[in-house]
Chains A and B, each alone.
Chain A
Amino acid sequence: MAIMYALKSSDNEIFEVEQKVIEQSETIKKMIEDGAATGEIPLQVSSKTLAKVLEWCKQRQHKTVENENDDNKGKRKKERDEDDDIKEWENKFSDELKADKDVLFDLLLASNYLDLPALLSFLCQLVADMVAGKMPEEIRRMFNIENDFTPEEEKAITAEHGWAFQP
Protein backbone atom coordinates (compact mmCIF):
# COMPACT_ATOMS: atom_id res chain seq x y z
CA MET A 1 0.00 0.00 0.00
CA ALA A 2 1.59 3.22 -1.17
CA ILE A 3 1.90 6.09 1.27
CA MET A 4 -0.14 9.02 0.06
CA TYR A 5 0.32 12.70 0.77
CA ALA A 6 -2.07 15.58 0.29
CA LEU A 7 -0.61 18.65 -1.39
CA LYS A 8 -2.49 21.91 -1.13
CA SER A 9 -2.05 24.45 -3.92
CA SER A 10 -1.97 28.19 -3.31
CA ASP A 11 -5.59 28.35 -4.51
CA ASN A 12 -6.57 25.63 -1.98
CA GLU A 13 -6.96 22.67 -4.28
CA ILE A 14 -5.94 19.31 -2.78
CA PHE A 15 -3.84 16.82 -4.75
CA GLU A 16 -3.47 13.25 -3.40
CA VAL A 17 -0.05 11.97 -4.43
CA GLU A 18 2.07 8.87 -3.76
CA GLN A 19 5.10 9.55 -1.58
CA LYS A 20 7.48 8.10 -4.18
CA VAL A 21 6.20 10.51 -6.82
CA ILE A 22 6.41 13.61 -4.71
CA GLU A 23 9.75 12.77 -3.08
CA GLN A 24 11.45 13.72 -6.33
CA SER A 25 11.00 17.21 -4.97
CA GLU A 26 13.89 17.79 -2.56
CA THR A 27 11.87 20.53 -0.89
CA ILE A 28 8.92 18.27 -0.10
CA LYS A 29 11.17 15.33 0.77
CA LYS A 30 12.84 17.49 3.37
CA MET A 31 9.47 18.65 4.73
CA ILE A 32 8.44 15.00 5.12
CA GLU A 33 11.72 14.04 6.79
CA ASP A 34 11.50 16.99 9.14
CA GLY A 35 8.05 15.84 10.15
CA ALA A 36 6.60 19.13 8.98
CA ALA A 37 4.30 17.32 6.59
CA THR A 38 1.43 16.14 8.74
CA GLY A 39 -1.92 16.43 7.06
CA GLU A 40 -1.96 18.72 4.06
CA ILE A 41 1.30 20.12 2.69
CA PRO A 42 0.70 23.73 1.70
CA LEU A 43 2.64 24.87 -1.37
CA GLN A 44 3.11 28.28 -2.94
CA VAL A 45 2.16 26.88 -6.33
CA SER A 46 -1.12 27.35 -8.21
CA SER A 47 -3.29 24.31 -8.92
CA LYS A 48 -2.76 24.69 -12.68
CA THR A 49 1.02 24.66 -12.24
CA LEU A 50 0.99 21.94 -9.61
CA ALA A 51 -0.99 19.68 -11.95
CA LYS A 52 1.76 20.13 -14.54
CA VAL A 53 4.48 19.47 -11.97
CA LEU A 54 2.79 16.23 -10.96
CA GLU A 55 2.29 15.23 -14.58
CA TRP A 56 6.08 15.49 -14.96
CA CYS A 57 6.86 13.67 -11.69
CA LYS A 58 4.52 10.77 -12.50
CA GLN A 59 6.08 10.30 -15.90
CA ARG A 60 9.57 10.26 -14.32
CA GLN A 61 8.44 7.88 -11.58
CA HIS A 62 6.90 5.56 -14.16
CA LYS A 63 10.19 5.46 -16.00
CA THR A 64 12.31 4.63 -12.93
CA VAL A 65 9.98 1.88 -11.74
CA GLU A 66 9.95 0.19 -15.12
CA ASN A 67 13.71 0.26 -15.32
CA GLU A 68 14.00 -1.37 -11.90
CA ASN A 69 11.71 -4.22 -12.94
CA ASP A 70 13.60 -4.98 -16.11
CA ASP A 71 15.70 -8.08 -16.45
CA ASN A 72 18.50 -7.99 -18.95
CA LYS A 73 16.79 -10.14 -21.54
CA GLY A 74 15.32 -8.06 -24.29
CA LYS A 75 16.23 -4.94 -22.37
CA ARG A 76 17.86 -3.20 -25.27
CA LYS A 77 14.77 -3.24 -27.47
CA LYS A 78 12.53 -2.39 -24.57
CA GLU A 79 14.78 0.52 -23.63
CA ARG A 80 14.72 1.76 -27.17
CA ASP A 81 10.95 1.63 -27.28
CA GLU A 82 10.76 3.31 -23.90
CA ASP A 83 13.16 6.03 -24.99
CA ASP A 84 10.92 6.65 -27.97
CA ASP A 85 7.88 6.80 -25.70
CA ILE A 86 9.59 9.23 -23.34
CA LYS A 87 10.75 11.39 -26.23
CA GLU A 88 7.24 11.49 -27.59
CA TRP A 89 5.80 12.36 -24.18
CA GLU A 90 8.42 15.06 -23.64
CA ASN A 91 7.77 16.57 -27.07
CA LYS A 92 4.06 16.82 -26.31
CA PHE A 93 4.83 18.32 -22.88
CA SER A 94 7.20 20.86 -24.51
CA ASP A 95 4.70 21.81 -27.21
CA GLU A 96 2.03 22.57 -24.63
CA LEU A 97 4.44 24.77 -22.69
CA LYS A 98 5.64 26.58 -25.80
CA ALA A 99 2.04 27.37 -26.61
CA ASP A 100 1.31 28.71 -23.11
CA LYS A 101 4.30 30.70 -21.89
CA ASP A 102 2.55 31.76 -18.68
CA VAL A 103 2.42 28.11 -17.63
CA LEU A 104 6.04 27.67 -18.71
CA PHE A 105 7.04 30.63 -16.58
CA ASP A 106 5.14 29.40 -13.51
CA LEU A 107 6.52 25.91 -13.99
CA LEU A 108 10.08 27.28 -14.11
CA LEU A 109 9.55 29.05 -10.79
CA ALA A 110 7.83 25.99 -9.29
CA SER A 111 10.58 23.58 -10.34
CA ASN A 112 13.08 25.92 -8.70
CA TYR A 113 11.01 26.33 -5.52
CA LEU A 114 10.23 22.62 -5.22
CA ASP A 115 13.86 21.73 -6.05
CA LEU A 116 13.17 19.40 -8.98
CA PRO A 117 16.55 19.48 -10.75
CA ALA A 118 15.53 17.28 -13.69
CA LEU A 119 12.47 19.38 -14.47
CA LEU A 120 14.36 22.64 -13.99
CA SER A 121 17.08 21.49 -16.35
CA PHE A 122 14.49 20.31 -18.89
CA LEU A 123 12.69 23.66 -18.81
CA CYS A 124 15.88 25.74 -19.05
CA GLN A 125 16.89 23.70 -22.09
CA LEU A 126 13.41 24.25 -23.55
CA VAL A 127 13.69 28.03 -23.17
CA ALA A 128 17.26 27.93 -24.54
CA ASP A 129 16.00 26.01 -27.59
CA MET A 130 13.22 28.56 -28.07
CA VAL A 131 15.74 31.43 -27.94
CA ALA A 132 18.36 29.78 -30.17
CA GLY A 133 18.77 31.30 -33.61
CA LYS A 134 16.59 34.33 -32.80
CA MET A 135 17.45 38.01 -32.88
CA PRO A 136 16.99 40.05 -29.68
CA GLU A 137 13.84 41.70 -31.05
CA GLU A 138 12.28 38.33 -31.87
CA ILE A 139 13.03 37.09 -28.36
CA ARG A 140 11.43 40.19 -26.83
CA ARG A 141 8.31 39.63 -28.90
CA MET A 142 8.19 35.95 -28.01
CA PHE A 143 8.35 36.56 -24.27
CA ASN A 144 6.64 39.93 -24.22
CA ILE A 145 9.69 41.73 -22.87
CA GLU A 146 10.24 45.45 -23.06
CA ASN A 147 13.56 46.77 -24.29
CA ASP A 148 14.58 48.70 -21.16
CA PHE A 149 18.10 49.68 -22.20
CA THR A 150 18.86 53.39 -22.32
CA PRO A 151 20.13 54.61 -25.72
CA GLU A 152 23.67 54.72 -24.27
CA GLU A 153 23.42 51.16 -22.96
CA GLU A 154 21.95 50.01 -26.25
CA LYS A 155 24.90 51.56 -28.04
CA ALA A 156 27.39 49.83 -25.74
CA ILE A 157 25.68 46.48 -26.24
CA THR A 158 25.72 46.91 -29.99
CA ALA A 159 29.40 47.80 -29.87
CA GLU A 160 30.08 44.66 -27.83
CA HIS A 161 27.85 42.10 -29.54
CA GLY A 162 26.64 43.80 -32.70
CA TRP A 163 29.06 41.98 -35.01
CA ALA A 164 27.27 38.73 -34.26
CA PHE A 165 24.05 40.00 -35.83
CA GLN A 166 25.40 40.98 -39.22
CA PRO A 167 23.11 39.88 -42.03
Chain B
Amino acid sequence: MAIRLWADLPSELISLIGDRLDIIDLFSFRSVCKGWNSASSTCSAQIESSANQTPWFLLYGESSHCFLVSETDRKYKINIPEMNGATCIASKDGWLLLCRERSMFFFCPFSGSKIDLPQFPKSEQCDLVAAFSSPPTSEDCVVSVACLNELKFELHVLYRGTNTWTVHEFNHLYLNTIKGAGYVDKTFHFYDDSNKFITFTPSLSQGQKFRPHRIVSASKENQNYDILPFYLSRNSFERHSMNERLRLAEDVSVSTCGTVVPWDHLDRIFFNESISQQSEGQSQSQSQSRKQLKGVWINPRFYQVPPEMSW
Protein backbone atom coordinates (compact mmCIF):
# COMPACT_ATOMS: atom_id res chain seq x y z
CA MET B 1 0.00 0.00 0.00
CA ALA B 2 2.62 2.48 1.09
CA ILE B 3 4.52 1.99 -2.12
CA ARG B 4 1.53 3.20 -4.19
CA LEU B 5 1.02 6.33 -2.09
CA TRP B 6 2.59 9.02 -4.28
CA ALA B 7 1.62 7.27 -7.50
CA ASP B 8 -2.00 7.48 -6.37
CA LEU B 9 -1.99 11.19 -5.60
CA PRO B 10 -5.31 12.61 -6.88
CA SER B 11 -4.90 13.63 -10.49
CA GLU B 12 -5.93 17.25 -9.89
CA LEU B 13 -3.01 17.60 -7.46
CA ILE B 14 -0.60 15.92 -9.87
CA SER B 15 -1.55 18.39 -12.58
CA LEU B 16 -1.19 21.34 -10.15
CA ILE B 17 2.38 20.20 -9.50
CA GLY B 18 3.04 19.58 -13.20
CA ASP B 19 1.82 23.09 -14.01
CA ARG B 20 4.78 24.45 -12.05
CA LEU B 21 7.45 22.65 -14.08
CA ASP B 22 9.42 23.83 -17.07
CA ILE B 23 9.38 21.66 -20.15
CA ILE B 24 12.37 19.41 -19.40
CA ASP B 25 11.28 18.81 -15.81
CA LEU B 26 7.77 18.16 -17.09
CA PHE B 27 9.11 15.41 -19.36
CA SER B 28 10.86 13.78 -16.39
CA PHE B 29 7.68 14.10 -14.37
CA ARG B 30 5.60 12.50 -17.14
CA SER B 31 8.03 9.60 -17.36
CA VAL B 32 7.70 8.61 -13.70
CA CYS B 33 4.57 6.41 -13.78
CA LYS B 34 1.25 5.96 -15.58
CA GLY B 35 -0.76 8.01 -13.08
CA TRP B 36 1.53 11.00 -13.26
CA ASN B 37 1.74 10.72 -17.03
CA SER B 38 -1.98 10.82 -17.70
CA ALA B 39 -2.73 13.40 -14.99
CA SER B 40 -0.17 15.82 -16.42
CA SER B 41 -1.31 15.65 -20.03
CA THR B 42 -2.85 19.13 -19.77
CA CYS B 43 0.31 20.65 -18.27
CA SER B 44 1.97 22.84 -20.88
CA ALA B 45 5.07 24.23 -19.13
CA GLN B 46 3.43 27.63 -19.40
CA ILE B 47 4.72 28.76 -16.02
CA GLU B 48 3.91 32.14 -14.57
CA SER B 49 7.48 33.32 -14.69
CA SER B 50 7.61 32.81 -18.43
CA ALA B 51 7.28 36.51 -19.33
CA ASN B 52 10.50 38.16 -20.45
CA GLN B 53 11.95 34.75 -21.12
CA THR B 54 14.12 34.41 -24.19
CA PRO B 55 12.60 31.76 -26.43
CA TRP B 56 14.47 28.62 -27.41
CA PHE B 57 16.01 28.22 -30.84
CA LEU B 58 15.32 25.25 -33.10
CA LEU B 59 17.77 24.68 -35.96
CA TYR B 60 16.48 22.50 -38.79
CA GLY B 61 16.62 22.12 -42.56
CA GLU B 62 18.74 18.99 -42.87
CA SER B 63 16.55 15.88 -42.97
CA SER B 64 14.61 15.39 -39.74
CA HIS B 65 17.58 15.95 -37.44
CA CYS B 66 17.10 19.15 -35.52
CA PHE B 67 19.11 20.92 -32.91
CA LEU B 68 17.54 22.71 -29.99
CA VAL B 69 19.13 25.36 -27.78
CA SER B 70 17.43 26.38 -24.55
CA GLU B 71 17.44 29.90 -23.11
CA THR B 72 20.04 28.72 -20.59
CA ASP B 73 22.13 27.24 -23.39
CA ARG B 74 21.33 23.60 -22.80
CA LYS B 75 21.56 21.79 -26.14
CA TYR B 76 19.51 18.88 -27.42
CA LYS B 77 19.50 16.76 -30.54
CA ILE B 78 15.97 15.94 -31.53
CA ASN B 79 14.54 13.98 -34.41
CA ILE B 80 11.41 15.59 -35.87
CA PRO B 81 10.18 14.00 -39.14
CA GLU B 82 7.61 16.79 -39.60
CA MET B 83 10.39 19.37 -39.95
CA ASN B 84 11.94 17.51 -42.86
CA GLY B 85 11.47 19.63 -45.98
CA ALA B 86 9.23 22.07 -44.15
CA THR B 87 9.59 25.81 -43.60
CA CYS B 88 8.31 27.55 -40.54
CA ILE B 89 6.39 30.74 -41.32
CA ALA B 90 5.09 31.63 -37.84
CA SER B 91 5.81 30.71 -34.23
CA LYS B 92 3.89 31.66 -31.14
CA ASP B 93 3.04 30.16 -27.73
CA GLY B 94 4.87 26.94 -28.55
CA TRP B 95 3.01 26.37 -31.82
CA LEU B 96 4.75 26.47 -35.19
CA LEU B 97 2.97 27.11 -38.46
CA LEU B 98 4.78 24.95 -40.98
CA CYS B 99 4.55 24.92 -44.73
CA ARG B 100 5.65 22.04 -46.94
CA GLU B 101 4.94 22.71 -50.62
CA ARG B 102 1.23 23.54 -50.56
CA SER B 103 0.39 21.74 -47.35
CA MET B 104 0.25 23.83 -44.24
CA PHE B 105 -0.08 22.67 -40.66
CA PHE B 106 0.30 23.67 -37.05
CA PHE B 107 2.84 21.69 -35.14
CA CYS B 108 4.04 21.52 -31.56
CA PRO B 109 7.53 19.98 -31.73
CA PHE B 110 7.56 19.23 -27.99
CA SER B 111 4.49 17.01 -28.13
CA GLY B 112 4.36 16.04 -31.80
CA SER B 113 0.80 17.40 -32.00
CA LYS B 114 -0.18 18.33 -35.52
CA ILE B 115 -3.23 20.12 -36.92
CA ASP B 116 -3.58 20.13 -40.68
CA LEU B 117 -4.94 23.22 -42.42
CA PRO B 118 -6.79 23.31 -45.75
CA GLN B 119 -4.45 23.35 -48.73
CA PHE B 120 -2.77 26.69 -49.23
CA PRO B 121 -3.86 28.35 -52.51
CA LYS B 122 -0.47 29.62 -53.61
CA SER B 123 2.19 27.35 -54.96
CA GLU B 124 4.72 29.66 -56.60
CA GLN B 125 7.78 30.56 -54.67
CA CYS B 126 7.09 33.52 -52.48
CA ASP B 127 8.46 34.30 -49.08
CA LEU B 128 5.58 33.78 -46.70
CA VAL B 129 5.29 35.50 -43.35
CA ALA B 130 2.40 34.59 -41.08
CA ALA B 131 0.76 35.29 -37.75
CA PHE B 132 -2.07 33.68 -35.84
CA SER B 133 -4.38 35.30 -33.36
CA SER B 134 -4.50 32.58 -30.71
CA PRO B 135 -3.47 28.94 -30.28
CA PRO B 136 -4.87 26.75 -33.10
CA THR B 137 -6.89 24.81 -30.52
CA SER B 138 -8.97 27.85 -29.62
CA GLU B 139 -12.32 28.38 -31.33
CA ASP B 140 -11.56 31.89 -32.54
CA CYS B 141 -8.14 31.27 -34.04
CA VAL B 142 -7.46 33.27 -37.23
CA VAL B 143 -4.41 32.68 -39.42
CA SER B 144 -3.01 35.34 -41.76
CA VAL B 145 -0.33 34.51 -44.28
CA ALA B 146 1.30 37.43 -46.07
CA CYS B 147 2.97 37.35 -49.43
CA LEU B 148 4.50 40.44 -50.94
CA ASN B 149 4.73 41.00 -54.70
CA GLU B 150 6.25 44.02 -56.34
CA LEU B 151 3.00 45.93 -56.25
CA LYS B 152 0.63 44.01 -54.07
CA PHE B 153 0.55 42.96 -50.47
CA GLU B 154 -1.43 39.76 -50.56
CA LEU B 155 -2.94 38.35 -47.40
CA HIS B 156 -4.47 34.90 -47.16
CA VAL B 157 -6.78 34.55 -44.19
CA LEU B 158 -8.20 31.41 -42.64
CA TYR B 159 -10.68 31.16 -39.77
CA ARG B 160 -10.81 28.20 -37.40
CA GLY B 161 -13.34 25.63 -38.56
CA THR B 162 -13.49 26.88 -42.16
CA ASN B 163 -12.10 25.19 -45.25
CA THR B 164 -11.35 28.11 -47.51
CA TRP B 165 -8.63 30.69 -47.48
CA THR B 166 -9.87 34.17 -48.34
CA VAL B 167 -7.49 36.49 -50.07
CA HIS B 168 -7.22 40.23 -49.47
CA GLU B 169 -5.01 42.55 -51.49
CA PHE B 170 -3.52 45.93 -50.85
CA ASN B 171 -1.63 47.98 -53.44
CA HIS B 172 1.24 49.01 -51.28
CA LEU B 173 3.91 50.51 -53.60
CA TYR B 174 6.14 51.18 -50.64
CA LEU B 175 6.67 48.18 -48.40
CA ASN B 176 10.01 46.40 -48.27
CA THR B 177 10.45 42.75 -47.37
CA ILE B 178 8.15 41.70 -44.54
CA LYS B 179 10.21 40.52 -41.59
CA GLY B 180 7.96 40.39 -38.57
CA ALA B 181 4.33 39.76 -37.70
CA GLY B 182 2.11 39.89 -34.67
CA TYR B 183 -1.48 40.10 -33.54
CA VAL B 184 -2.88 42.51 -30.98
CA ASP B 185 -6.27 44.20 -30.42
CA LYS B 186 -7.98 42.11 -33.11
CA THR B 187 -5.43 43.37 -35.62
CA PHE B 188 -2.59 41.70 -37.52
CA HIS B 189 0.63 43.66 -37.87
CA PHE B 190 3.20 43.04 -40.59
CA TYR B 191 6.50 44.89 -40.25
CA ASP B 192 8.94 45.34 -43.08
CA ASP B 193 12.71 45.61 -42.77
CA SER B 194 12.72 49.39 -42.77
CA ASN B 195 10.33 51.48 -40.74
CA LYS B 196 7.01 50.65 -42.30
CA PHE B 197 4.25 48.28 -41.45
CA ILE B 198 0.76 47.40 -42.49
CA THR B 199 -2.13 46.36 -40.29
CA PHE B 200 -5.08 44.17 -41.12
CA THR B 201 -8.22 44.11 -38.98
CA PRO B 202 -10.46 41.23 -40.14
CA SER B 203 -13.52 42.53 -38.27
CA LEU B 204 -13.63 45.88 -40.09
CA SER B 205 -15.62 46.28 -43.29
CA GLN B 206 -13.98 45.86 -46.67
CA GLY B 207 -11.89 48.88 -47.58
CA GLN B 208 -10.98 49.61 -44.00
CA LYS B 209 -9.28 46.37 -43.16
CA PHE B 210 -5.83 47.46 -44.32
CA ARG B 211 -3.98 50.44 -42.93
CA PRO B 212 -0.42 51.43 -43.84
CA HIS B 213 1.79 52.92 -41.14
CA ARG B 214 5.21 54.44 -40.72
CA ILE B 215 7.36 54.24 -37.62
CA VAL B 216 8.71 57.62 -36.55
CA SER B 217 10.65 58.64 -33.48
CA ALA B 218 8.73 60.56 -30.87
CA SER B 219 9.38 64.29 -30.89
CA LYS B 220 7.77 67.52 -29.74
CA GLU B 221 6.83 68.59 -33.26
CA ASN B 222 5.36 65.24 -34.01
CA GLN B 223 2.74 64.53 -31.39
CA ASN B 224 0.07 63.10 -33.60
CA TYR B 225 1.16 59.51 -33.43
CA ASP B 226 0.12 56.19 -31.91
CA ILE B 227 2.44 54.14 -29.81
CA LEU B 228 3.67 50.86 -31.26
CA PRO B 229 1.89 47.97 -29.57
CA PHE B 230 4.99 45.76 -29.73
CA TYR B 231 8.66 45.82 -28.89
CA LEU B 232 10.59 45.00 -32.04
CA SER B 233 13.76 42.91 -32.00
CA ARG B 234 15.41 42.98 -35.39
CA ASN B 235 18.69 41.23 -34.69
CA SER B 236 17.96 38.60 -32.06
CA PHE B 237 20.30 36.07 -33.65
CA GLU B 238 23.33 38.19 -33.10
CA ARG B 239 22.11 39.65 -29.84
CA HIS B 240 21.79 36.17 -28.37
CA SER B 241 25.14 35.06 -29.85
CA MET B 242 23.45 32.23 -31.71
CA ASN B 243 26.35 31.91 -34.10
CA GLU B 244 28.71 30.89 -31.33
CA ARG B 245 26.11 28.92 -29.41
CA LEU B 246 25.20 26.84 -32.47
CA ARG B 247 28.87 26.54 -33.47
CA LEU B 248 27.97 27.08 -37.10
CA ALA B 249 30.58 26.33 -39.69
CA GLU B 250 31.68 29.20 -41.90
CA ASP B 251 29.95 27.90 -45.00
CA VAL B 252 26.54 27.80 -43.35
CA SER B 253 23.82 30.37 -43.71
CA VAL B 254 20.63 30.38 -41.71
CA SER B 255 17.24 31.90 -42.40
CA THR B 256 15.26 32.29 -39.23
CA CYS B 257 11.59 32.60 -38.43
CA GLY B 258 10.84 34.95 -35.57
CA THR B 259 8.25 34.66 -32.85
CA VAL B 260 6.23 36.72 -30.43
CA VAL B 261 7.09 36.59 -26.72
CA PRO B 262 5.31 38.09 -23.72
CA TRP B 263 7.53 40.93 -22.54
CA ASP B 264 6.61 43.27 -19.70
CA HIS B 265 3.34 44.90 -20.77
CA LEU B 266 3.86 44.54 -24.49
CA ASP B 267 4.72 41.51 -26.54
CA ARG B 268 8.09 41.46 -28.21
CA ILE B 269 8.34 40.47 -31.88
CA PHE B 270 11.50 38.64 -32.85
CA PHE B 271 12.00 39.41 -36.54
CA ASN B 272 12.82 36.93 -39.27
CA GLU B 273 16.45 37.13 -40.30
CA SER B 274 18.83 35.88 -42.93
CA ILE B 275 22.25 35.18 -41.52
CA SER B 276 25.26 34.33 -43.58
CA GLN B 277 28.84 34.52 -42.47
CA GLN B 278 30.00 35.30 -45.95
CA SER B 279 33.31 37.03 -45.79
CA GLU B 280 33.94 39.92 -48.13
CA GLY B 281 35.28 39.09 -51.55
CA GLN B 282 33.79 35.64 -51.58
CA SER B 283 32.88 34.67 -55.09
CA GLN B 284 29.43 33.90 -56.34
CA SER B 285 30.17 30.23 -56.90
CA GLN B 286 31.44 29.88 -53.37
CA SER B 287 28.34 31.45 -51.92
CA GLN B 288 26.14 29.11 -53.94
CA SER B 289 27.78 26.08 -52.43
CA ARG B 290 26.90 27.27 -48.95
CA LYS B 291 24.83 25.08 -46.74
CA GLN B 292 21.37 26.52 -46.16
CA LEU B 293 19.81 25.87 -42.76
CA LYS B 294 16.66 27.19 -41.18
CA GLY B 295 15.88 28.13 -37.66
CA VAL B 296 12.95 29.23 -35.58
CA TRP B 297 12.57 30.91 -32.20
CA ILE B 298 10.11 28.97 -30.13
CA ASN B 299 8.56 29.12 -26.69
CA PRO B 300 8.98 25.69 -25.11
CA ARG B 301 5.41 24.49 -24.50
CA PHE B 302 3.83 21.09 -24.44
CA TYR B 303 0.40 20.87 -26.05
CA GLN B 304 -1.36 17.61 -26.66
CA VAL B 305 -4.38 17.57 -28.93
CA PRO B 306 -6.74 14.65 -29.41
CA PRO B 307 -5.80 12.70 -32.56
CA GLU B 308 -9.27 13.25 -34.04
CA MET B 309 -9.02 17.03 -33.70
CA SER B 310 -9.16 18.85 -37.01
CA TRP B 311 -9.07 22.46 -38.07
* CA A149 to CA B35, docked complex, whole Å: 10
* CA A163 to CA B141, docked complex, whole Å: 31
Across-interface contacts of B77 in A (CB, < 8 A)? 163, 166
Instruction: Select the stretch in B21-29, B188-196, B239-247, B278-286 that faces chain A.
Output: B21-29
Q: Which of B5, B17, B23, B28 contacts A124 (CB 8 A)?
A: B17
Q: Which of B2, B17, B79, B112 contacts A127 (CB 8 A)?
A: B17
Q: Which of A112, A128, A148 contacts B34 (CB 8 A)?
A: A148
Across-interface contacts of A151 in B (CB, < 8 A)? none
Across-interface contacts of B10 in A (CB, < 8 A)? 109, 112
B6 contacts A161, CB within 8 Å? no
Across-interface contacts of A108 in B (CB, < 8 A)? 9, 13
Across-interface contacts of B225 in A (CB, < 8 A)? none
A155 to chain B minimum Cβ distance, whole angstroms, is 12
Q: Mark A125-167, 1 if CB is under 8 A from B, else 0.
A: 1011001111110011001111111000100011011011110
Known contacts A124-B17, A140-B33, A145-B7; decide if A135 and B2 are in contact (CB<8 Å).
no
Say whether chain B's binding surface is mostly helix, strand, loop, or mixed.
Answer: helix
B30 contacts A147, CB within 8 Å? no
Q: Number of contacts between A and B (CB, 8 Å)?
A: 100
Q: Which of A132, A145, A147, A153 contacts B25 (CB 8 A)?
A: A132
Known contacts A105-B6, A157-B37, A160-B112; decide if A124 and B29 are in contact (CB<8 Å).
no
Known contacts A124-B13, A128-B20; decide if A153 and B34 are in contact (CB<8 Å).
yes
Q: Which of B12, B17, B30, B33 contacts A148 (CB 8 A)?
A: B33
Residue on B with the closest CB to A144?
B3
B21 contacts A146, CB within 8 Å? no
Residue on B with the closest CB to A142?
B6
B29 contacts A164, CB within 8 Å? no
Known contacts A145-B6, A165-B27; decide if A139 and B32 are in contact (CB<8 Å).
yes
**Size of B's binding interface in residues, CB under 8 A:** 38
Across-interface contacts of B18 in A (CB, < 8 A)? 128
Across-interface contacts of A144 in B (CB, < 8 A)? 2-3, 5-6
A21: Cβ under 8 A from any B Cβ: no
B37 to chain A minimum Cβ distance, whole angstroms, is 7
Of the listed residues B13, B32, B36, the one surrounded by the most CB atoms of chain A closer than 10 A to its CB is B32
Interchain residue pairs with CB less than 8 A apart (17)? A105-B9, A108-B13, A109-B10, A120-B16, A124-B13, A128-B25, A131-B21, A131-B25, A132-B22, A136-B28, A144-B5, A148-B7, A157-B30, A161-B28, A163-B78, A165-B27, A165-B28
The 6 closest A-B pairs by CB, nearest first: A128-B20, A161-B27, A143-B6, A136-B31, A163-B78, A164-B27
Binding site for B on A (CB under 8 A): 101-102, 105, 108-109, 112, 120-121, 124-125, 127-128, 131-136, 139-140, 143-149, 153, 157-158, 160-161, 163-166
